A and B are shown apart, each in its own frame.
Chain A
Amino acid sequence: KAGVTQTPRYLIKTRGQQVTLSCSPISGHRSVSWYQQTPGQGLQFLFEYFSETQRNKGNFPGRFSGRQFSNSRSEMNVSTLELGDSALYLCASSLIGGTMGSYNEQFFGPGTRLTVL
């Protein structure tokens, strides 16, 4: 069974540009969550999607947005990039979202490392 895949793995952008990251969940998983990892703030929850609907959102500015498609694949977009957006962006998929149920573990992808110059 293929794991969570994220593309691209590495990305370099300049300030003011926008970027789109992609996440393909494990087959059959309907929930996709996004996390930002930086040396200063650590791992922070961005948002979660289930059945094409954003169900949960972290404390990030509106420049961060996302969507989920009918095949459960998800994209996140960051507009007007700032230097502080440089981070590893991790995607996690699970069957139904949340953390209840031992069958409902979150599986993480390898991440996309975004560098903003």
Chain B
Amino acid sequence: GQNIDQPTEMTATEGAIVQINCTYQTSGFNGLFWYQQHAGEAPTFLSYNVLDGLEEKGRFSSFLSRSKGYSYLLLKELQMKDSASYLCAAMDSNYQLIWGAGTKLIIKP
């Protein structure tokens, strides 16, 4: 079956760095997405990886290893506004997104 695993919750300190891991198993693979979702709001797109390696976008970076079925989202210089849930989603061979349950990130001052 198809499955996405990511930690339920993580806590980090303002100004620090945090890495949120995601492992996936899908029927075929057309890319790995990371979305940010604040409580009560819809997800917003953060990143898309389809090739192995690290993609950097400002304070956020996303890494993919297709052979390992593994990705991570790296957040640097954490700010209080980064407190949110981070959703990992893999696209299968039918271009359907398979969603993880999300990682709730708590930022402490």
Q: Is chain B a partner of chain A in the same complex?
A: no
Residues of A bordering B, CB below 8 Å:
none
Residues of B bordering A, CB below 8 Å:
none
